[in-house]
């Protein structure tokens, strides 16, 4: 399991956790034992006392440096076939690891789909609640099965509350209008004062 760091060149964001199954070329003793003798003799240097050491690679011959050979379009067919055989053998003999990696990918995809569904359900629920709230504002609360007397008392209470709210709104509106008139008057007085001062200056200068 690895956590990414930011790479703006490739559009990779930081903090993304992912699981990777690494497969790389290297010597494999079990695979080498199953090769035909004439092929194994070219891949493994049995004359060296440390011939089974992972870092010991052929230095000469048709399979020089195998399996760490340069993969290119001009690769020798013998090397390409042998490298493909090694890769296939590794995958087949480690099938459980690859199957587990694929199952994990499927599980992650299923979890992501489930999360997306949950988010969609939550968004739909929020929309329904918002629609219900809007409807209640427009139509008022749904009538409940309560005695008629209680309904009348409730209506009277609501009417009184509405009247009080309306009176408060009118009072606030009157205050706002008064404030606007006051500001207009102050501006008019200020303008008049400026004109008087200007006229006085003109008369003094004349």
How does strand 17-18 pair with strand 2-3? antiparallel
Q: How far is Cα of residue 86 from the mean position of the Cα atoms in its chain?
A: 40
Q: Taken in order 14, 17, 18, 23, is the CA torsion positive or negative?
A: positive
* Residue 84: predicted pLDDT: 93
C-alpha distances out from residue 145 to 136, 140, 188, Å: 17, 15, 61
Residue spans of beta strands (DSSP E) within the chain: 2-3, 17-18
Residues 88 and 98: their CA atoms lie apart, in Å, by 12
Burial of 82 (0-12, 13-18, 19+ CB in 10 A): buried
Q: pLDDT digits over 61-114, tens only?
A: 889 889 998 888 778 899 999 999 999 999 999 999 888 888 876 666 666 677
Residues 197 and 191: their CA atoms lie apart, in Å, by 10
What's this model's pTM, rounded to 2 decimal places? 0.46
* Residue 160: predicted pLDDT: 75
14 or 118: which leads in pLDDT = 14
- Token readout for 199 is 């006229």
Residues 56 and 86: their CA atoms lie apart, in Å, by 17
Q: Check whether 195 has a pLDDT greater than 50.
A: no
Residues 199 and 140: their CA atoms lie apart, in Å, by 64
Burial annotation 140-168 (CB, 10 A radius, 16+ → b, else e): eeeeeeeeeeeeeeeeeeeeeeeeeeeee
What mean pLDDT, rounded, does the chain reach?
77
Q: Check whether 137 has a pLDDT greater than 90.
A: no
* Residue 205: predicted pLDDT: 33
Q: What whole-number percentage of the chain has pLDDT above 90?
A: 19
Q: What is the mean pLDDT of residues 122-150?
A: 67
Sequence length of the chain is 206
């Amino acid at each position: 399991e690895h956590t990414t760091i930011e790479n703006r060149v490739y559009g990779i964001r930081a903090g993304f956790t992912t699981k990777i199954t690494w497969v790389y070329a290297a010597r494999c003793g079990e695979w080498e034992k199953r090769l035909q003798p004439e092929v194994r003799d070219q891949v493994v240097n049995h004359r060296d006392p440390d011939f089974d050491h992972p870092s010991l690679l052929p230095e000469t011959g048709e399979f020089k440096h195998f399996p760490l050979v340069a993969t290119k379009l001009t690769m020798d067919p013998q090397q390409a076939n042998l490298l493909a055989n090694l890769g296939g053998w590794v995958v087949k003999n480690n099938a459980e690891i690859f199957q587990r990696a694929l199952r994990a990918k499927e599980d992650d995809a299923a979890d992501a789909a489930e999360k997306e569904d949950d988010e969609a359900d939550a968004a739909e629920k929020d929309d329904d609640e918002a629609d219900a709230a809007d409807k209640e504002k427009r139509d008022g609360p749904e009538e409940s099965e309560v005695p008629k007397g209680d309904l009348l008392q409730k209506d009277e209470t609501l009417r009184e509350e509405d009247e009080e709210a309306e009176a408060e709104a009118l009072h606030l509106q009157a205050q706002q209008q008064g404030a606007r008139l006051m500001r207009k008057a102050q501006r008019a007085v200020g303008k008049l004062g400026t004109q008087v001062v200007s006229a006085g200056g003109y008369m003094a200068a004349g």
